[in-house]
A and B are shown apart, each in its own frame.
Chain A
């Protein structure tokens, strides 16, 4: 993987880089997108994890090597909620397995506290992979929109739907997935 990432990061033009990346397998892409996600967060976040080993069902890979892949990622303007797109949007249960031991967290796109109101098994609810800081940020956003306690009690299906639609407005890919169903 290190060779692949070096070649890709050293490629002089975008076309050559895209060609090299197109030969990656699914596991390479997942890790690369994870790094893209991480380097898009403040630089400290990258330095902190630099050299740490990410382990998952795809094996162990080092972040430091992979960070070479997307040198310009931090300048890319990303709107909406940031998450590790390489893991995709999957059930909570599946993402939990994939991220075991990575230090990353899995966020229910529609918070687990609403599961009974939506009649959804929380383990099957669609989720994304985020870093702990971002996870806290999304949780705080939901909490402001529908406060804990009496807010959760008073929430109807319609209110929950309007809430996630407004929160993920800049993440059309998330809204598209949710429009197909909240559970996998």
Chain B
């Protein structure tokens, strides 16, 4: 009896690794030589890999979804029929993923092998993709999610959908007429294709102006259009107020100088923005109305502190989000901002990384601007703008008298939605922020 290894093949000179995307055979299946055994994917390529030899698929070493280097053994083929032998002891480490997979795989009917799964249409795939919470509710009440009308994204079943479904099901049992179901919060279904696009873009109509000879007319690309619509809606809905304060960075500079060597060793660049984000994340817990939004007739106070950091793409603007920023220390925030900003510039952010901000920071000061009056992103209550940090002559008290000193200072502006944040709240928030930055803790 001979065991033949199936290595991750070299599909191209510059391809160093591949991901197993699908096993076309299950352990125990007979395979013919050159019969397709598995599918792998590399950079934009799917490839079917043939069996190097006839026999029985004895062991799958690399599970679907795993990426391994070229040459790694992905499976073993037994060239003679018989019991599936234990892999040689030296393979124990390599075999581990397969063992883990076997334990983790769900009980029948859901074999790991392809082809056995019930055919699922693309439509069904979209509908079945509900959140774990919705799936759990469905399982608890023995509801087939497919039977529930979805009003969520792409027809998905939302928590509200399944709760209404359960409510109606209960009412159907009792001889009580069901109240009319409240209309979903989604926009009304448009009537024509042109109306569709107007709705899709959020119903913002940008007025047109005459084009003059020699002008260049360029359609807005996706980011510009989304940004334009968003700014109009944000400014139209939320009554903006801006308050300003001047913050001294002398202390922050001292903390930075004292820790720079240590941070350099750890390969992290701790920018002023990281200091500000750290301070803001701490304060937002003290000021729930600033970490909130007006939604319909309600106020929604957010449970998480997710700080959006505006990044200039030149051209374009994107606001990646530092999630649960209040749980990170200064170094953690700096690292996260550095990573997000880099990937924003490389256009490698995932959609979920630009969603869910509960407060935002923008830094017009980085380009020398003294102070800005930023627009509050939709669905939040406030945004902080940080102006240029520069040396200024200021009057300080020294030895019981006034003296002129040189200090690094910056103007901060807080743009806030006056429906939910009162002027005094904003003033208190800014005063606390100034205090926290000017007495920045060394152990932050």
- Specify whether A and B are partners: no
Q: Which residues of B contact A (CB under 8 A)?
A: none
A→B interface (CB under 8 Å): none
